[in-house]
Chains A and B, each alone.
Chain A
Amino acid sequence: MITYTKHILNNGLTVLANRDCTSQLAAVNLLYKVGARNEKPSCTGLAHLFEHLMFRGTHNVADFDTPVQMACGENNAFTNNDYTNFYITLPTDNIQTALWLESDRMHGLNLSEKAISIEKRVVIEEFRQRYLNQPYGDINMLLRELVYTTHPYRWATIGLSPDHIEQASAEEIRAFYNRYYQPSNAILSISGNIAEDEVFALAEKWFAPISNDCTPHDIIPVEPVQTEARRKEIERDVPATVIIIAFHMGDRLSRDFFLGDMASDLLAGGDSARLYERLIKKKRLFSSVNAYISGDVDCGTFCFTGQLLPSTTEEQAEAALWEEISELQQGKISDYEIEKVKNKFEANTLFGELNVMNKAMNLGYYEMIGDLPLINREVEVYRSLQRSDIADFAQRIFREENSSTLIYRAGK
């Protein structure tokens, strides 16, 4: 259970406060509602580039890291398709240092040609290292291109090509900052031993002077309903063939999200789950196998993936995955299995609420998806799901014409 109070400043900044009476640390989380989904197809990778640029200093503060460290703090950030998240933990007494730095870079970022060109080089290098020069590095990019024709989820956070980052002009980069790094597009969440009123007063002090120049409402292209099965086969110099079968499913707030999450846990939540027991241990078809949901804000995907043993044919592997799907569709799920995944969900939720950082981050996330109270209701939602709901989900979602199959074949 995470208690919280919410307050919105006049410039539109949403502020969330959680009082933790035991910790001497405060966590300051600043989430910007911008991710790769807000990018134009001709200029991808900008949201992630910005995560880097945000550490290059501002007109007032040349170096971001040193003041954080001087205040006994630690900071970092991440970007995904839906949002960009920055966080700092530091002793409660020094919370104003975090607010000073975050408010400063919300409006005065150093976007000089030099800063941009240095950070572009770093990101292009990251693109090469992690996505191009790595075995299986491009597998998720290929999958996205197969599953999505229209929605911006068809590219990964790193972008469609290093060329996009190379070619992004300084004007485009500044325009991106001016559009998305605005108070009304951000959520500030704070956990620590500070009274809620005081958190709001501090937020007023540091953030109220920032004017809100724009409130972005992007119209994100909707992915058309898929009507026939898709398939892509490619060959790469990798040790083992990988098969992925992906299906479109509902968005983060739909009931299907919880059903999909639960189905993926039934199939692959740990070594005692179905896929591991049956396809690795019993049938010995795969060396690793998984089922997971993408967990995106807009309509996402449910994926089955497996790495084949050398003796397994692609036909056998695909057939084995479809057989597991058929079992779920027929509702062949025991009460024991269902109770287990519910228990595990509850445990993971509680283990994830043990420190101020996780609490602040969770608050920002649930506010971003548009249902903050869900943060304390989710365990209950999972508890309410029944076997028949999962079978129904499997029948509606795991259909041939809703599938995209990627064969990533091991070549010489």
Chain B
Amino acid sequence: MRQPEITIPTTIKVPAAERIVAQNGTSIYAIKCPEYKVVRISFVFEAGSTRQLHPFIASATANMLAEGSQNLSAQQIAERLDYYGSYFDINIDRDHAYITFCTLSKFFSQTAEIIEEVILRPTFPQEETATYCAKRKQQLTIERRKVEHIARENFAKAMFGAEHPYGISYSEERYDDITSEMLSDHYRRCYTAEGCIVVCSGDLTDDVLQRVLSITESLPHATADNEFVSPPVHTTHQMFIPHDEAVQASIRMGRMLFGRTHEEFIPMQVLSTILGGYFGSRLMQNLRERNGFTYGVYSAMVNFQQAGYLALATQVGYEVKEAALEEIAREIETLRQEPVSEEELSLVKNIMAGEMMRILDGPFGIADVTTENILCGFDNSHIQQNLERIRQTTPEELQALAQKYLRPEDLVTVVVG
């Protein structure tokens, strides 16, 4: 039979997040999906590594929140969550710490008791802190033998500068200096009503929201200024780091651009998808399919609170790294010299629209996208605007962007191996 007509979605319906402001000023965003008998709550704090006063303290604090509280031991916390089939998840980046709890709605109030302990009353016990630091130190030592990890750390350094909070990395020895007082101090400074948002989704009854509100209102006010001002960046354009044991070389390439709020962010995202954002992308076709240099190569726009960049990453055979760099340069130059065909552009637009819809399927995915929007100062109507912006992109616009932003002299290249 004949191929059916396809329709490209022009709208993505997303429930608006209902906003509740607690007495201490913190906002709670509620996405009600009562047909699912589950509840998910995320607390997001401005508690990432840019806010830390000592190396590794931001991640250590977030990861130690459930390792003991005023009323419960680490084991009791784990055991009680487990008993109700509830679980939690900690994520940390340069800017934020995300603490997320999931539970059946029928066990919400029992789980809320544990949430209170973890969010409001952590104690960071000495012994658990020492165990955590020893474990992380060992993991990091192992990670730092891998070319991929070395490339990631050095790419941030090359992009922002060795002392910049977005670029800095520390010796693993610094884990030895960490004390539980440092964690308590970071907790007191950063886990406060200011700079916190709470996002919940699922079966949000009035009782559930009331309880979330009461936990949120118990967050203390900040006593010290926690604002982060990004210092000037010092970019190094080329960094080649030899590595004796490597059979593969890790390549990272990119350039400093701008964050999600910039008007050209979305078209640059389209451009980076064409270059390396999907299985059939130009870099995949070239490096993997035609040349067999690599198993995979990816490019994406990366967003921070006060910066953003384009990055591509791949691992190639040690002996073909020069050839791979040439091919990458060639693909970038082609984007500058020739407009993308309408056919390729529509494929990429459709892939991106489909990807947005898949992320938004189900209450937890909607909550993730809502969080990302709020942190950028948008509401959920932004999803629709993004979709429209993707659809409006033209080959001429993309070529102009490539000429403007992908000049060879502006690119940062890091090769390890």
Residue ranges of A at the interface with B (Cβ–Cβ < 8 Å): 22-25, 61, 65-67, 69-74, 89-91, 93-94, 96-97, 99-100, 103-104, 206, 209, 270-272, 336, 339-340, 343-348, 350-351, 353-357
Known contacts A94-B7, A271-B78, then 16 further A-B pairs from the complex at CB < 8 Å, ordered by chain A residue: A65-B279, A69-B350, A70-B347, A71-B6, A91-B9, A93-B9, A97-B3, A97-B4, A209-B1, A340-B82, A343-B83, A344-B85, A345-B85, A347-B104, A347-B107, A350-B36
> Cβ of B38 < 8 Å from any Cβ of A?
yes
| Majority SS at the chain A contact face | helix
Pick from A66, A71, A93, A103 the residue with the most CB of B within 10 Å. A71
Q: Given the known A-B contacts A67-B3, A346-B104, are A72 and B85 also in contact in the complex, defined by CB atoms under 8 Å?
A: no
B289 to chain A, nearest CB (A): 13
Partner of A91, one of B84, B85, B354, B362: B354
**Residues of B close to A340: CB separation below 8 A:** 82-83
Q: Find residues 278-298 in chain B having any chain A CB closer than 8 Å to their own CB.
A: 278-280
A243→B75 CA distance, assembly (Å): 28
Q: B361 near A71 (CB under 8 angstroms)? A: no
Q: B1 near A351 (CB under 8 angstroms)? A: no
Q: Given the known A-B contacts A22-B35, A343-B84, A354-B364, are A89 and B358 also in contact in the complex, defined by CB atoms under 8 Å?
A: yes
**Residues of A close to B350: CB separation below 8 A:** 69-72
**Residues of A close to B12: CB separation below 8 A:** 24
> Cβ of B218 < 8 Å from any Cβ of A?
no
B76 to chain A, nearest CB (A): 10
A155→B310 CA distance, assembly (Å): 47
Q: Find residues 73-93 in chain B having any chain A CB closer than 8 Å to their own CB.
A: 75, 78-79, 82-86
A214 to chain B, nearest CB (A): 22
Q: B347 near A355 (CB under 8 angstroms)? A: no
Minimum CB distance partner of A348 in chain B: B85
Q: B9 near A354 (CB under 8 angstroms)? A: no
**Residues of A close to B9: CB separation below 8 A:** 24, 72, 91, 93
Minimum CB distance partner of A94 in chain B: B6
Partner of B7, one of A61, A69, A93, A350: A93
B27 to chain A, nearest CB (A): 25
A22→B33 CA distance, assembly (Å): 9
Q: B3 near A100 (CB under 8 angstroms)? A: yes
A25→B279 CA distance, assembly (Å): 21
**Residues of B close to A271: CB separation below 8 A:** 78, 82
Q: B1 near A103 (CB under 8 angstroms)? A: yes
Q: Given the known A-B contacts A69-B347, A69-B351, are A354 and B363 also in contact in the complex, defined by CB atoms under 8 Å?
A: yes
A228→B346 CA distance, assembly (Å): 64
Q: Find residues 1-37 in chain B having any chain A CB closer than 8 Å to their own CB.
A: 1, 3-4, 6-9, 12-13, 33, 35-37
Q: B86 near A91 (CB under 8 angstroms)? A: no
Minimum CB distance partner of B346 in chain A: A70
> Cβ of B119 < 8 Å from any Cβ of A?
no
Q: B354 near A90 (CB under 8 angstroms)? A: yes
Partner of A354, one of B13, B38, B351, B360: B38
A148→B361 CA distance, assembly (Å): 42
**Residues of B close to A353: CB separation below 8 A:** 36
Minimum CB distance partner of A356 in chain B: B361
Minimum CB distance partner of B103 in chain A: A347
A77→B398 CA distance, assembly (Å): 34
Q: B85 near A347 (CB under 8 angstroms)? A: yes
Q: B79 near A272 (CB under 8 angstroms)? A: yes
A270→B7 CA distance, assembly (Å): 45
Residue ranges of B at the interface with A (Cβ–Cβ < 8 Å): 1, 3-4, 6-9, 12-13, 33, 35-38, 75, 78-79, 82-86, 102-104, 107, 278-280, 346-347, 350-351, 353-355, 357-358, 360-365
Minimum CB distance partner of A205 in chain B: B1
Minimum CB distance partner of A98 in chain B: B4
A323 to chain B, nearest CB (A): 23
Q: A24 near B351 (CB under 8 angstroms)? A: no
A89→B75 CA distance, assembly (Å): 40
**Residues of A close to B355: CB separation below 8 A:** 74
A363 to chain B, nearest CB (A): 16
Q: B1 near A206 (CB under 8 angstroms)? A: yes
**Residues of B close to A103: CB separation below 8 A:** 1
B7 to chain A, nearest CB (A): 4
Q: A70 near B358 (CB under 8 angstroms)? A: no
Minimum CB distance partner of A345 in chain B: B85
A99→B360 CA distance, assembly (Å): 23
Partner of B82, one of A22, A270, A356: A270
Partner of B358, one of A69, A74, A96, A100: A74
Q: B4 near A344 (CB under 8 angstroms)? A: no
Minimum CB distance partner of B4 in chain A: A96
Pick from A70, A72, A74 the residue with the most CB of B within 10 Å. A72
Q: A91 near B7 (CB under 8 angstroms)? A: yes
B381 to chain A, nearest CB (A): 16
Q: A272 near B358 (CB under 8 angstroms)? A: no
Q: A346 near B85 (CB under 8 angstroms)? A: yes
**Residues of A close to B7: CB separation below 8 A:** 91, 93-94
The 6 closest A-B pairs by CB, nearest first: A347-B85, A72-B354, A96-B4, A355-B362, A93-B7, A354-B362
A346 to chain B, nearest CB (A): 6
**Residues of B close to A23: CB separation below 8 A:** 361-362
A101 to chain B, nearest CB (A): 9
**Residues of A close to B278: CB separation below 8 A:** 69
Q: Given the known A-B contacts A91-B9, A97-B3, are A339 and B83 also in contact in the complex, defined by CB atoms under 8 Å?
A: yes
Could you name 18 residue pairs across A and B whose Cβ atoms are closer than 8 Å? A24-B12, A24-B360, A73-B354, A93-B6, A94-B7, A100-B3, A104-B1, A271-B82, A272-B79, A343-B83, A343-B85, A347-B85, A347-B104, A350-B104, A354-B363, A355-B362, A355-B365, A357-B361
Q: Given the known A-B contacts A90-B354, A271-B78, A355-B361, are A347 and B6 also in contact in the complex, defined by CB atoms under 8 Å?
A: no
Minimum CB distance partner of A95 in chain B: B4
**Residues of B close to A206: CB separation below 8 A:** 1
Q: A66 near B347 (CB under 8 angstroms)? A: yes
Q: A344 near B82 (CB under 8 angstroms)? A: yes
**Residues of A close to B358: CB separation below 8 A:** 25, 74, 89
A368→B260 CA distance, assembly (Å): 46
Q: A70 near B85 (CB under 8 angstroms)? A: no
**Residues of A close to B361: CB separation below 8 A:** 23-25, 89, 355-357
Minimum CB distance partner of B79 in chain A: A272
Q: A351 near B38 (CB under 8 angstroms)? A: yes
Q: B357 near A91 (CB under 8 angstroms)? A: yes
Q: A69 near B280 (CB under 8 angstroms)? A: yes
**Residues of A close to B104: CB separation below 8 A:** 343, 346-347, 350
Q: Given the known A-B contacts A74-B358, A90-B354, A93-B9, are A65 and B4 also in contact in the complex, defined by CB atoms under 8 Å?
A: no
Q: A24 near B1 (CB under 8 angstroms)? A: no
Q: B280 near A100 (CB under 8 angstroms)? A: no
Q: B13 near A24 (CB under 8 angstroms)? A: yes
B112 to chain A, nearest CB (A): 16
B89 to chain A, nearest CB (A): 12
Minimum CB distance partner of A104 in chain B: B1
Minimum CB distance partner of A93 in chain B: B7
B212 to chain A, nearest CB (A): 19
Q: B280 near A65 (CB under 8 angstroms)? A: yes
**Residues of B close to A96: CB separation below 8 A:** 4
Partner of B6, one of A97, A336, A346: A97
Q: Given the known A-B contacts A97-B4, A347-B85, are A25 and B37 also in contact in the complex, defined by CB atoms under 8 Å?
A: no
